[in-house]
C-alpha cells in the first residue's frame, strides 16, 4: 500500500505539469484566434466564461456589447467551454452572417448546444435546396385562409385565459406575475392551433410536463448524463416529437376523408397528401421527401419552439410598455372600440384585424424595442472573412445581436414610438435592414405573420377586456433571459374586468 501511495505521489508532478501544459495550449489557441479583437485577455481554464453566462446572462451579454463598443469594429470575442465565440453588434456584419448560411459558410444552430438538444435533423439546421423545398411545403400553413382559421382559435383561448388571470388577481388582492400564465396560454394556443383535435387532455398534460423540462434544459450547461437537466430536456424533445408524429398520422387519416382543415397540421397534410397522390400517379416508388410522420413531427416541434417562448416574451413586453405609455394605451383602446365590441359576442374577423392599423404598429414596435430572441447563434463551418482585417476561425460560434441592430438606424431608437411604423413615416421600410427580430436571409421566420397576428389579437383583447396596473419596483423592467427576454419581475400586474361583460365566443 505504501508503495502504491509513493508511486502516486511520484506521478503527481507529471500530471500537474500535463494539466498546466493543456491550460497553456488553450490560452495560446484563444489568443491566436482573438488577435486584436476586443475581449478578455485571458480566460478561465476549460470553462472559459461559461459560469457568468449561465448565472447572469443579461450581465454577460451587456458586458460583451460594451466591449464591442470600445472600438469601431462592431464585434467582440470570448470563450465558453472550449468554444471561441464572436459577438456581433454591427447590423451589416450581422447581415453578412445571415446571408452566408451555407455548407462552407455559417450554420444556423439556434442555441449554442442546439444540435445536442434538438437533434441533427432539425429545420433550423437545413440549408440549400432541401431547405427551400421544405419551406415551400410549409407555405400552405400560412395562407390567408389558414391564418383566419388560427385567429378564431387564438381568440377563444386568449379569452379563456384572460378570465382566469382576472379571477386569480382578484383572489390574491395583490399584483400577480403573469410570465408563467402567459407561457401556459401560449402553450395552449400553440397546441390547439398546430394540432388542435389530435391532442387529448392526457396527452396535453404530458406535453406540458415535457415542454417544461425542455425549457429548463435550454438554460443549463450541456452535461448529458442521466438525471441532469440537459439529459431530461433531450429526452423530452424525443417524446414531444413522437407525440406530434402521432398527431400527424391522425391528421392524414382525417384529411384523406376530405374533411375541412381545423388546425395547422391539417393544412399541411392537405397539401402533402395532394403531392403524395401526384407522385403515386406519376409512378413514383417512394413518397415525396419530408412527408413521413416522424419528419413532420420533428418540424412541428421546431414550430412550437419558435412560437412558444418568443410569443410569451412579446406579450409581457406589450403589457409592460402599454402601462408605461398611457398615451399609446389610450389610442389602442380607441381604435379597437371603433372596430370591435365585446358585447357583440362576435370573434374579431380577419378584415377587422387588418383595420387595427395603429395596434399593428404597436405590435411591431414592441418586437423592435424588445426582440424576444436577442441573439441568433451560428457556427463557422470554415474560416470566414468577416471584415478585411479579420477572419472568423473555423468552429467559432458567432452571435449576431438582433437587439443591438434594433437600436441602430431608427429615429430616436431608444424611445418606444409605434408611430415610426405608420404609413407616413414607414421606418419599417427605411430601416428595414435593422429590423431583424424575425431574422433575415434564407432562414427568416416563416411564421412571422402568425406571430404578429397573435400579438395584435392579444393586445386588442387585453386592453379592451381588462384594466391593469403594473407593480412598479426598482429594476422590474430590466431584461432577464428565460431563455427569451422578459421583464425581471415576470411582469407583475393587478388586473380587473374592464368590459361590462365578457364576450360569449363559441367553445
Annotated binding-site positions for heme: 445
Residue 16, CA distances (Å) to 10, 19, 310, 448 in order: 11, 5, 47, 54
Q: What is the DSSP letter of 248?
A: H
Residue 80: strand, helix, or coil: strand
Gyration radius of the chain over CA positions: 25
Q: For residues 256 and 273, is the Cβ–Cβ distance under 8 A?
A: yes
Q: For residues 374 and 402, is the Cβ–Cβ distance under 8 A?
A: yes
Burial environment of residue 225 by CB neighbours within 10 A (0 to 12, 13 to 18, 19 or more)? exposed
Q: For residues 168 and 160, is the Cβ–Cβ distance under 8 A?
A: no
Q: What is the DSSP letter of 325?
A: -
Q: Count CB atoms within 10 A of the CB of residue 204.
A: 16
CA distance 138 to 260: 18
CA distance 475 to 361: 27
Which residue shows C-alpha cell 362576435?
346
* Residues pairing with 58 in the sheet: none
Q: For residues 465 and 497, is the Cβ–Cβ distance under 8 A?
A: yes
Contacts of 454 (CB under 8 A, 6+ apart): 154, 189, 307, 311
CA distance 256 to 69: 57
CA distance 176 to 165: 9
Which residue shows C-alpha cell 358585447?
343
Scanning 325-356, the segments in alpha helix (DSSP H) are 326-337, 350-355
Query: Residue 304 is inside which H or E element, if any?
Result: helix 293-324
- Helices (runs of H) and strands (runs of E) counted in the chain: 18, 12
Helices 293-324 and 264-281, axial angle in degrees (round to 10): 150
Q: Count CB atoms within 10 A of the CB of residue 472.
A: 12
Q: For residues 284 and 239, is the Cβ–Cβ distance under 8 A?
A: no
Angle at the Cα of 137 from the Cα atoms of 133 and 139, rounded to 5 degrees: 115
Which residues carry a binding-site annotation? 445
Q: For residues 117 and 237, is the Cβ–Cβ distance under 8 A?
A: yes
Residue 66: strand, helix, or coil: helix
Amino acid at each position: 500500500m505504501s508503495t502504491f501511495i509513493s508511486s502516486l505521489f511520484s506521478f503527481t508532478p507529471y500530471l500537474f505539469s500535463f494539466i498546466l501544459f493543456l491550460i497553456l495550449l488553450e490560452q495560446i489557441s484563444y489568443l491566436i484566434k482573438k488577435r486584436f479583437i476586443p475581449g478578455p485577455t485571458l480566460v478561465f481554464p476549460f470553462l472559459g466564461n461559461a459560469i457568468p453566462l449561465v448565472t447572469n446572462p443579461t450581465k454577460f451579454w451587456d458586458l460583451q456589447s460594451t466591449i464591442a463598443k470600445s472600438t469601431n469594429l462592431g464585434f467582440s470575442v470570448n470563450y465558453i467551454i472550449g468554444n471561441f465565440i464572436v459577438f456581433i453588434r454591427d447590423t451589416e456584419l450581422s447581415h453578412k452572417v445571415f446571408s452566408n448560411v451555407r455548407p462552407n459558410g455559417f450554420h444556423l444552430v439556434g442555441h449554442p448546444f442546439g444540435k445536442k438538444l434538438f437533434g441533427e435533423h432539425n429545420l433550423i439546421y437545413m440549408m440549400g435546396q432541401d431547405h427551400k423545398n421544405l419551406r415551400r411545403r410549409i407555405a400552405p400553413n400560412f395562407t390567408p385562409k389558414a391564418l383566419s382559421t388560427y385567429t378564431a382559435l387564438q381568440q377563444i383561448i386568449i379569452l379563456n385565459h384572460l378570465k382566469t388571470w382576472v379571477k386569480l388577481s382578484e383572489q390574491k388582492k395583490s399584483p400577480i406575475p403573469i410570465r408563467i400564465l402567459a407561457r401556459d396560454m401560449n402553450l395552449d394556443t400553440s397546441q390547439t392551433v398546430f394540432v388542435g383535435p389530435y391532442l387529448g387532455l392526457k396527452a396535453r398534460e404530458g406535453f406540458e410536463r415535457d415542454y417544461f423540462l425542455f425549457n429548463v434544459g435550454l438554460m443549463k450547461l450541456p452535461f448529458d448524463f442521466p438525471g441532469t437537466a440537459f439529459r431530461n430536456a433531450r429526452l423530452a424533445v424525443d417524446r414531444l416529437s413522437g407525440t406530434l408524429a402521432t398527431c400527424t398520422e391522425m391528421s392524414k387519416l382525417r384529411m384523406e376523408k376530405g374533411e375541412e382543415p381545423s388546425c395547422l397540421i391539417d393544412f399541411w397534410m392537405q397539401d402533402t397528401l395532394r403531392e403524395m397522390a401526384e407522385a403515386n400517379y406519376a409512378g413514383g416508388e417512394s413518397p415525396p421527401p419530408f412527408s413521413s410522420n416522424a419528419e413532420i413531427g420533428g418540424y412541428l416541434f421546431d414550430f412550437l419552439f419558435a412560437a412558444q417562448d418568443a410569443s410569451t416574451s412579446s406579450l409581457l413586453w406589450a403589457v409592460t410598455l402599454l402601462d408605461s405609455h398611457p398615451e399609446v394605451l389610450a389610442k389602442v383602446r380607441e381604435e379597437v372600440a371603433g372596430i370591435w365590441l365585446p358585447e357583440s359576442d362576435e370573434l374579431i374577423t380577419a378584415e377587422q384585424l387588418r383595420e387595427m392599423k395603429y395596434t399593428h404598429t404597436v405590435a411591431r414596435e414592441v418586437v423592435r424595442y424588445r426582440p424576444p430572441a436577442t441573439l441568433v447563434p451560428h457556427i463557422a463551418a470554415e474560416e470566414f472573412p468577416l471584415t478585411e482585417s479579420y477572419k472568423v476561425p473555423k468552429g467559432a460560434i458567432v452571435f449576431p445581436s438582433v437587439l443591438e441592430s434594433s437600436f441602430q438606424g431608427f429615429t430616436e431608437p431608444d424611445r418606444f414610438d409605434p408611430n415610426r411604423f405608420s404609413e407616413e413615416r414607414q421606418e419599417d421600410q427605411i430601416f428595414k435592414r435593422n429590423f431583424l427580430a424575425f431574422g433575415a436571409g434564407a432562414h427568416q421566420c416563416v411564421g412571422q405573420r402568425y406571430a404578429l397576428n397573435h400579438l395584435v389579437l392579444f393586445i386588442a383583447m387585453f386592453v379592451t377586456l381588462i384594466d391593469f396596473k403594473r407593480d412598479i419596483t426598482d429594476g422590474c423592467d430590466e431584461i432577464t433571459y428565460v431563455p427569451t427576454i422578459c421583464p425581471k419581475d415576470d411582469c407583475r400586474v393587478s388586473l380587473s374586468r374592464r368590459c361590462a361583460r365578457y364576450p360569449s365566443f363559441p367553445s
